[in-house]
Amino acid sequence: DGGITQSPKYLFRKEGQNVTLSCEQNLNHDAMYWYRQDPGQGLRLIYYSQIVNDFQKGDIAEGYSVSREKKESFPLTVTSAQKNPTAFYLCASRSGGEEQFFGPGTRLTVL
C-alpha cells in the first residue's frame, strides 16, 4: 500500500527531553510538511521541505527541528525549547499538484 506512515501513534515525554517523531512516505513525493494541531483548532505549519536536503521554517518553527536526508523520510524533533509541546502532530506530502496527503498523526503528551 502506498501512503504516509507516522510513528508512534502516541508518545509521552518528560519535560526537558527531546523527542523525535517519524514520518515516512512511499508515494515518491518531493515535498513534505509538518503541522501541529491543538484541540478545536486548525493546522499550523511547523516546517516544510520541497526537496531532499532542503527545508524551510513554517509559522511556528521555534522549538522544533527537522532533517531531510532521504526523499522518503522527514523526521521532526521536538526540543526542550518548545514550551508547550503537547499537541497532535501531522505529517503530509505533496506531489507536483497542490493537494497534500496526510499521515495518521502522532499525539504527543508532555508529562
Partner 1 sequence: GESVGLHLPTLSVQEGDNSIINCAYSNSASDYFIWYKQESGKGPQFIIDIRSNMDKRQGQRVTVLLNKTVKHLSLQIAATQPGDSAVYFCAENLRGSSGSARQLTFGSGTQLTVLP
Cβ-contact 67, 81 below 8 angstroms: no
Residue with Cβ nearer partner 1 (18 or 57): 57
Residues 17-46 interacting with partner 1 (rule: CB under 8 A): 33, 35, 40-45
Which of 29, 94, 108, 110 forms a contact with partner 1 (CB under 8 A)? 94
Q: Does 64 bind partner 1 (CB under 8 A)?
A: no
Q: Does 11 bind partner 1 (CB under 8 A)?
A: no
Task: Centre a 10 Å sphere on the Cβ of residue 95 and count the other Cβ atoms it contains.
Answer: 13
Q: Does 58 bind partner 1 (CB under 8 A)?
A: yes
Q: Does 100 bind partner 1 (CB under 8 A)?
A: yes
Q: Please, how many CA atoms are within 13 Å of residue 39, restricted to the half-sphere of its CB? A: 3
Please state the closest distance from residue 91 (CB atom) to partner 1, in A. 8
- Reading the block at residue 29, the C-alpha cell is 513525493
d(CA 12, CA 40): 21
